[in-house]
Structure 1
Amino acid sequence: MKLLETISNLAGKYFAVWVILVAAVAYLIPEPFLPLGSYITILLGVVMFGMGLTLKPVDFKLVLQKPLPVITGVLAQFIIMPLGAFAIAYVMGLPNELAAGLVLLGSVPGGTASNVMVYLAKGNLALSVAMTSLSTLLAPLATPLILLALAGQWLPVDPYAMFLSIVQVIIIPITLGLVLKKVFPGTVEKSLNVIPLISVAAIIIIVSAVVSANVGNIATSGMLVFSAVILHNILGLALGYGTGVMMKLDESKRRAISIEVGMQNSGLGVALATAHFGPLAALPSVIAAVWHNISGPIIATYWSKKTVNEEETQMTDEGHEPQASFR
């Protein structure tokens, strides 16, 4: 078990490196990875099951005690990122599938990797976890409706089918994780350090499957999509922080909202795009799986060197430890 914990920590620490390496191999030698495409939904369910195992009642306590920052952040996430993606896709003239895929990336909830980045950035971890949890629970309704409104002009959107998909790959696995933790708390507690390894492995397999299926598309549209994803991420980080400033929140909350808004559950984006739009539409989410885990550590390192008043984070972060279970 100790060896597994060590491997798990290394996998989480160098997640972006592993994703880049595997993506490169899948691009150069796609054939062995092509059959993995049929397991994308199952693998994402495994990641979400791990999230369920790590959730605690305190994660939802902040929503009731101090709802304004949480609601502000979640609203910013579901407004800024979809509209930002729509504007970028329109201005850059992205092809229909890529445009819909970018809007889909902007419409999914936050990912758990953002919690780790907020912690490293000396942001308000309790707010970050509450935002991730609430946006994830709202996703079955919010994501399909946003896509119907913004992406329907490019590709047909079936909101009911997408609702069912999100329930299957997010809500059910998270619920199972919560139930298992309730029934077998001791066993689950002992296994928590291994969860990052399972999550990283699942996401790496998902990325390799989609990259292998999009070798031709990456060759022709790779730089265009990469530019769009980077611009989208920067827009989310900047406007997320600006939302905190506008609401006159303290610095630790501004950092939390910035990172939460800027980083999405790209694994869910890949699964939904593959199931409902096609492999090309999954490309923005695949690139985001790599880029978000490069930009996240960069901004976290920058902010970690800038002091935040201790009272801003000390009380609200009690009972929280970042779980490196990546999306």
Structure 2
Amino acid sequence: MKRIFKFIEKYYFIIILLSVAVSLVFPNSFQWVLSNYGGVNILNLLLSMVLFTMGTTLKVEDFTNVFKKPKEISVGIATQYIAMPLIALALAKIFSLNEALTVGLILVGTVPGGTASDVITFLSKGDVALSVSLTAVSTVIAPIITPLITLVLIGNQIHFNPVDMFLSIIEIVIIPIMIGLILNSKFPDFCERLKDYLPALSAIVICLIVAGVIGANKQAILTSSSIIILVIMMQYFLAMMIGFGVGYLAGMDRKQIITVAIELAFQNSGLSTGLAKAHFPNLAQATVPGALYSVWQNFAGSILAYLFRRWV
């Protein structure tokens, strides 16, 4: 069983591409991902599972590292929540994206870093402790920062309730992470054994979310794919470049520079998809950028990890 989970973890980028292919050929196969069952939103439940698995890998020390590496943490978090939203807004305007795709792209920019960044940092021989700390801190402050920045960037054009978004992030992100964190503090040996299985489980869940969103928006993706895919790729690589530049200017070493660049480029795209569906229900295409970004960041990240290993 462990071998199967390790296989899934290792070849995640191939599995996510297969999920996309299946969802385009059989778009209704993953329709259940975006549905409600017994009053429970399946998409939000799946996202909570991913964040719970993240919580079981965290310790209180991951948050106290803020005081051990104040410069690296502050630079990484500040760049995360300043550069990424501005990149998204600029690209949306340059390429004249429609209202729905603009919302989706900005949400990709305003959500915290994704858990996949920790895995890619490890594969890249980066500073894993710094990566975990950046992901943890950016996620914990997301309930306030994400709705606030989203409101500033699109609140005048598109109505949404930032308080409801705040509550959604608390429900989807913070509560599952806290449960996982408590479980890890009370039963560390058990959580340590879970580490062999949780990355693959998270990978499967993300694949389901991506397949569900792409299947539901198949026609919209096929008609606007060339533009939005180009924008997503540019958003990713601009984030990488800014991460390298900021890390270098801040006087970080190579491992830390790689880590900040990865953390900046790897967004919690699943969360952006969930927020788009929950708070912009009249803009169906708003879920598309998050789904496509998830596919691209994992595919490109796997390739870049190989190159980074040779550089460090």
Q: If the TM-score is normalised by the length of the shorter chain, which range does it land in? A: over 0.9
For the residue of structure 1 that corresponds to 2:141, the secondary structure is helix
Q: Report the Cα distance in structure 1 between the residues aligned to 2:119 and 2:193, rounded to whole angstroms.
A: 20
Q: Report the Cα distance in structure 2 between the residues aligned to 1:181 and 1:274, rounded to whole angstroms.
A: 31
Q: Which residue of 1 aligns with 2:106?
A: 103
CA drift at 1:270: 1.1
Q: Report the Cα distance in structure 2 between the residues aligned to 1:12 and 1:140, rounded to whole angstroms.
A: 29
Q: Deviations over 1:168-225 (max 9, x none)?
A: 0000000111122223333322222111222112111111111111011111112211
Does residue 33 in structure 1 map to residue 30 in structure 2?
yes
Q: Deviations over 1:79-128 (max 9, x none)?
A: 11000000000000000000110010011111111112122222222111
CA contact (8 A) 2:104 2:290 kept: yes
User: Percent of pairs identical after alignment?
Assistant: 38
Count residues in correspondence: 304
Q: Which residue of 1 aligns with 2:4?
A: 7
Q: Which residue of 2 aligns with 1:291?
A: 296
Range moving further from structure 2, 141-150 or 241-250: 241-250
Does residue 86 in structure 1 map to residue 89 in structure 2?
yes
Give the counterpart letter for 1:34 in structure 2. Answer: Q
CA contact (8 A) 1:147 1:157 kept: no
Give the counterpart letter for 2:11 in structure 1. Answer: Y
Q: Which residue of 2 aligns with 1:22?
A: 19
Runs of 4+ in structure 1 over 6 Å off = none
Does residue 306 in structure 1 map to residue 311 in structure 2?
yes
CA drift at 1:153: 4.4
Structure 1 residue runs without a partner (length 5+): 308-327
Q: Report the Cα distance in structure 1 between the residues aligned to 2:249 and 2:301, rounded to whole angstroms.
A: 23
Q: Deviations over 1:265-292 (max 9, x none)?
A: 1111111111112431111110111100
CA drift at 1:303: 1.6
CA drift at 1:154: 4.4
Q: Report the Cα distance in structure 1 between the residues aligned to 2:29 and 2:305, rounded to whole angstroms.
A: 36
CA drift at 1:66: 1.9
Q: Which residue of 2 aligns with 1:220?
A: 223
Q: Report the Cα distance in structure 1 between the residues aligned to 2:129 and 2:32, rounded to whole angstroms.
A: 40
Q: Deviations over 1:213-270 (max 9, x none)?
A: 1011111112211111100000000001111112122222111111101110111111
Q: Report the Cα distance in structure 1 between the residues aligned to 2:244 and 2:305, rounded to whole angstroms.
A: 13
CA contact (8 A) 2:58 2:184 kept: no
Q: Report the Cα distance in structure 1 between the residues aligned to 2:193 and 2:124, rounded to whole angstroms.
A: 27
RMSD of aligned alpha carbons: 1.3
Q: Report the Cα distance in structure 1 between the residues aligned to 2:297 and 2:162, rounded to whole angstroms.
A: 27
CA contact (8 A) 2:59 2:184 kept: no
Give the counterpart letter for 1:273 in structure 2. Answer: A
CA contact (8 A) 1:100 1:154 kept: no
* TM-score for both structures, normalised by structure 2: 0.94
CA contact (8 A) 2:13 2:302 kept: no
Structure 2 residue runs without a partner (length 5+): 36-41
Q: Which residue of 1 aligns with 2:255?
A: 252
For the residue of structure 2 that corresponds to 1:54, the secondary structure is coil
CA drift at 1:58: 2.9
Matches within 5 A, 1:145-224: 145-224=148-227
Q: Deviations over 1:4-31 (max 9, x none)?
A: x211111111111111111111111112
Q: Deviations over 1:13-52 (max 9, x none)?
A: 1111111111111111112321221211000000000001
Give the counterpart letter for 1:252 in structure 2. Answer: K
CA contact (8 A) 1:99 1:154 kept: no
Give the counterpart letter for 2:114 in structure 1. Answer: G
Give the counterpart letter for 2:215 in structure 1. Answer: S
